[in-house]
Amino acid sequence: MPKSLIIVESPAKANTLKKFLGKDFDVKASVGHIRDLPKKKLAVDVENNFEPEYITIQGKSKVIDELRKAAKKADTIFLAPDPDREGEAIAYHIEQLIKEQTKGVIYRVMFNEITKTAVRAAIENPQKIDVSLFEAQQARRILDRLVGYKISPLLWKKVQRGLSAGRVQSVALRLICEREREILAFKPEEYWSITTNLEGKEPPPFLAKLSKVDKKKVELKNEEDTNKVLADIKDAPFQIADIQKKERKRNPYPPFITSTLQQETSRKMRFSPKKTMAIAQMLYEGINLGKEGPVGLITYMRTDSTRVSDEAIKNVRDYISKNFGKEYLPAKPNVYKSKKSAQDAHEAIRPSYMDKPPASIKQYLSPDQMALYELVWNRFLSSQMAPARMDQTHVEIKASKHLFKTVGSIITFPGFMKVYIEAEEEKENKDQEGANADDKSAILPPLSVGEKLKVLEILPKQHFTQPPPRFTEAFLIKELEDKGIGRPSTYAAIIGVIKDREYVFSESRRLSPSELGFLVNDQLVENFPDILNVTFTANLETQLDLIEEGKVGWVDTLKAFYAPFQKDLEEAEVKMKDFKKEVTPTDEICGKCNSPMVIKRGRFGRFMACSAYPECKNTMEISTEDGVDSKGIPKPQDQPIEDKCPKCGAMMVIKSGRFGKFISCSRYPECKTTKPISIGVKCPEEGCAGDIIERKSRNGKLFFACNKYPDCKFASWNKPVAEACPQCESPYLVERTKNGEIYSGCPKKGCGFKK
């Protein structure tokens, strides 16, 4: 009969531990939290030091009975939920429920990785429940309950039934709303660039971009300014004025922490933070590797520290030396600084074993698991490799009083880049035309100072400044982290909640506030300025950290928060605008009783209702001509482009319509010139001269079709590529994604060609 009991929170984790612990241990799982605040009432006694009222979570009674029975038989009990605040709360509540049923000694054990060495070390050095860590979790839970249960009824009463507010989520919503208002207020400004295609004594030709005029930074604000420069350089000789060659080092990136992992998976694989954390949890708790059984493949994934254990450093350095050679191994291990706010409780996210490279266990992993494991593996491996080295050449070219510049570089030693290169978020607010002139990887021919160059082409280009970008989920996480809002365990939940509540929506992977999101945010900012204050929220996170460290009391923290919050609540009850009572008149007439129709707000958003209600209960969907769609979501703004209308000469813009984006004259409706946006691929149907364009189905899903529809019925869910299949002679390939990598494949069933 086992003498020791170990309790974890996950059945998968339990299965992995059973392999290490043998017959002397009974391993049970709590399946997450077993006690929490009830859902249907506040359950916090604000008059009695915020005493919480915990209840058994519905469906957990059977689990608790099993834990109590197992505890009665054990001499020693080890509580081993995850090593963080939530894990400590689970351990605390389990202890409270089993301590009366057992004579065994109860310990708390924590491990950063589920390996035999780490687990055995934790059991040999057991601890007691960290009450301060539990109290930090309890304070956060009560804070969130107070905000949610006190503000949400006000929103139900004044704005719309079913709404809710969250302490941290509402601040994230504010960031998104403020960014959207910056975008709406933005006025594009015209500017021009001049790029030249030049040729030296030897190939290849290269591009150089105008940088200075009369030793001053170039500013071409319009076509007139540009034409003056073009006239000056038309017959001017182009000559190399200066060449600077430098060796440049590029250092590797630190191993992943929670936020950087979520950002990188968003960029490289288009995973949501929630999906990333779910897959990482599987890899941490254990994947069944055939005969070897369940194996935990990565360390704990909720961390803000870049610290790595000495043993892991030794193992990865041995791997690098053996598989890449000593030139790829720095003389000393690379050490990375964590942020000042980092708790440093856990190591960085890394592989648990260096003898399990991704290729060796690929058969046991799903595509998503493999993609994430490979990403963590490569990032950690590269973090301990030597810097990359490259020779960079800066070239300045004079033409009269004008200075053109270009940059080229050659990698002389790849170093860590042999294994890993971080994905770059698409560049915002920077015009990409003439990018080759600034491309640090551009190949330059042999050049010498004083050498005269042949001008192959001069390329003037009109541009418009762009508004600040909307947040991607990756960028929002970075913003939250930079501002000290939330912690590694909460980033995914923050974004998930505001999306689930339909306060924000995602279009082209960017977050925009819905009309409802704007409305809720404005009411909260106006009536609860502290709760929605970024600095205030960050300071509250710091207070929770201090509770965890045992430096401040959790009750004192809640008292300091609640007094001003209660005052704001009382004022908001009187001052908050009552949108449910407000109606907006319209020109529509009721089809049943001929009374005027009005716009009201109900449980599912705005709708049109008869003004004679309740005598007439006629309702209809709201018109979508007022800048928002039927769900109250703002329509995308027109995007100016550099083409001019062939009919009236006005600037053309990209508009978003029911079936996707299209190009239209900016003077619409006076001028109704439109044309589809081609993806640059001709229709592959035999005898058709159409172009392939992006369209949207009725449910909003993107697909690709011929612009000659209905005459041509060609359509594809995958983006066509203008290249014939070399195996089956299909006239085109399609773009596909697998494990985060984009490749081209044949669309014909049974062919299987890809590249």
Strand partners, 644: 651
Pairing of the two strands 504-507 and 510-513: antiparallel
3-state helix, strand, coil in the chain (%, to 5): 35, 25, 40
Specify the 3-state DSSP secondary structure of 674: strand
CB neighbours of residue 531 within 10 Å: 25
Torsion of Cα atoms, 106 then 112 then 114 then 116, to 10°? -80
> Quick one: angle between helices 515-527 and 554-575, nearest 10?
110
Specify the 3-state DSSP secondary structure of 435: helix
Unique residue bearing structure tokens 């648990």: 352
Residue 274 to residue 496: CA distance in whole angstroms: 7
Q: Is 152 exposed, middle or buried (0-12, 13-18, 19+ CB in 10 A)?
A: middle
Residue 103 to residue 68: CA distance in whole angstroms: 12
Q: Give which of 652, 669, 663, 650 is closest to 691, Cα–Cα.
A: 663
Q: Give which of 405, 382, 385 is closest to 395, Cα–Cα.
A: 405
Question: Angle CA(609)–CA(613)–CA(615) in degrees, nearest 5?
Answer: 135
Mention every residue, 6+ apart, whose C-beta is less than 8 A from residue 630.
Answer: 621, 622, 624
Q: Could you list the beta-strand ranges (E) of 503-579.
A: 504-507, 510-513
* DSSP tag of 472: B
Residue 17 to residue 293: CA distance in whole angstroms: 11
Among 107, 191, 300, 491, the one annotated catalytic: 300
Cβ atoms of residues 177 and 519 within 8 Å: no
Q: Residue 287: phi, psi to the nearest 5?
A: -115, 135
Amino acid at 268: K
Residue 401 to residue 743: CA distance in whole angstroms: 47
Cis peptide before 710 (omega within 30 of 0): yes
* DSSP tag of 748: S
Question: Angle CA(343)–CA(347)–CA(353) in degrees, nearest 5?
Answer: 165
Specify the 3-state DSSP secondary structure of 150: helix
Q: Give which of 403, 300, 213, 270 is closest to 13, Cα–Cα.
A: 300
Which spans in 238-332 are helix H? 258-269, 273-285, 310-324
Catalytic residue list contains 743: no
Residue 296 to residue 167: CA distance in whole angstroms: 34
Cis peptide before 676 (omega within 30 of 0): no
Q: Residue 182: phi, psi to the nearest 5?
A: -60, -40
Cβ atoms of residues 631 and 605 within 8 Å: yes
Side-chain half-sphere exposure of 362, counting CA atoms within 13 A: 7
Report how far apart the first and last C-alpha atoms of the chain are (Å, whole number): 58
The catalytic residue positions are 300
